[in-house]
Amino acid sequence: MRSMSVRKSGKATEVVESVEEMRGRVAGLRSSLRTIGLVPTMGALHEGHLSLIRAARRECEVVVVSLFVNRPQFGPAEDYDMYPRTWEEDLGHCNSEQVDLVFSPPEKMIYPAGFSTWVDVERFSTVLEGAFRPDHFRGVSTIVTQLFNVVTPDCAYFGQKDYQQMLLIQTMVKDLHIPIEIRGCPIIRESDGLACSSRNRYLKGRDRQSAVVLYRVLQLAKQRIGDGCRDFGKICYEMKEMIETTPNCETEYVEIVSPETLQPVSPRDESVLAVVAVRVGSTRLIDNQRIHLG
């Protein structure tokens, strides 16, 4: 991949809403052999998203950010209607980070009447998040495939906070021979350890304080494993106990799994992945940490 060319200062981010226009813009970029990086988002941008944009800016000559709240990845009782939509703020971030193009299509263009084609990556779709959120990953893989087909990036950037999603997209790209490199970027945390998330906006008062328990239990797992404990069931029990004794917190799952398969840890694994999903009040949060066995 060629090195990035510096964009002229003062050039505003351009917003593209049409699939046809985006394809035309991409064709023009391809004619000059420019490399394209895509950061898929649902908006409500935070420091985690900005870190992905900066990674794309370092590696690619053109940076595209998608802003699209994808209805099919929300379950019937989930927060699609309440999901934060902060268009002006998001566009300001994109301008500040020198994003070249924002792709923000209307829903009817992505899912027109009669839409009936879905992408389902079976390998990672039914465990952990998939077990608690049926059809969630079908919605994710379908919209990501559409974005890949429209933008045709050289690289796409995903945060490791959604580790299972990242694995699923990597698998999809490999299985379907999609010529895109998937970049997994580190989790960005707030000052007290809480992983940056658009849903952190929902947390108020005591719930915001309680939410730090996700990070605390991951640190507990890291410490126990670092001390030599390999009884992962016992460690998970201790993690769950810490969550359940934190005000207004309810555990959905706590697991320590293989980071390659999301299945039970095997003797071949050199590291493990501690994963948690917790409801803090009415807000559902997830987090993870990869821990080397050393």
Nearest to 279 by CA among 242, 253, 259: 253
Residue 142's contacts (CB-CB under 8 Å, 6 or more residues apart) are 72, 117, 118, 119
What b-and-e string marks burial along 244-253, b requiring 16 or more CB atoms within 10 Å of the CB? eebeebebbb
Give the separation between CA 102 and CA 212, rounded to whole angstroms. Answer: 33
HSE-CB of 13 using CA atoms within 13 angstroms: 24
Question: Which amino acid appears at position 106 of this protein?
Answer: P
Own/partner contacts of 128-132, CB < 8 Å, gap of 24 or more, are: 128/164, 128/253, 128/255, 128/257, 128/262, 128/275, 128/277, 129/164, 129/165, 129/277, 129/286, 130/164, 131/253, 132/252, 132/253, 132/277
Residue 115's contacts (CB-CB under 8 Å, 6 or more residues apart) are none
Q: Kindly provide the residue ranges of all beta strands, DSSP E only, lying in the chain, ordered along the sequence.
A: 14-16, 36-41, 62-67, 101-103, 155-159, 181-185, 249-257, 271-280, 283-292
93 is catalytic: no
Tokens representing 291 are 């821990």
Single out the catalytic residue among 49, 93, 136, 292: 49
Catalytic residues: 49
